[in-house]
Amino acid sequence: MRVKIDKVFGPGVKISRGNYSKVKGCTIENCKMGIHVVSAQPSILFNKVRQNLENGVFCEAKKEIRCDALLQFNTIEKNNLNGVLLTGVNNFSKLD
């Protein structure tokens, strides 16, 4: 399903704690942050993430809980801070 998420004062999409969600074919723009992943294992595919106030995609492993996000075939552009930011000791996220 194609979804447009626009002008959210927070993350456009937030996925946390052990979640195996799939975010596919969305346009996420003009939010505080595009996609925020916290210690989860989502598939993030074929999205347009642009013109967000902070990071386009932010993946973090908190409290040493693994983060295994898979990012493929996304267009990430014109975000004010980082396009993709990966942090944490057990962050095994992949950009393909």
How does residue 2 score in pLDDT terms, banded at 50, 70 and 90? confident
pLDDT at 49 over 90: yes
pLDDT band at 1 (very low <50, low <70, confident <90, very high): low
The pLDDT mean for the chain works out to 96
How far is it, in rounded angstroms, from Cα 75 to Cα 87? 21
Nearest to 49 by CA among 68, 66, 67, 25: 25
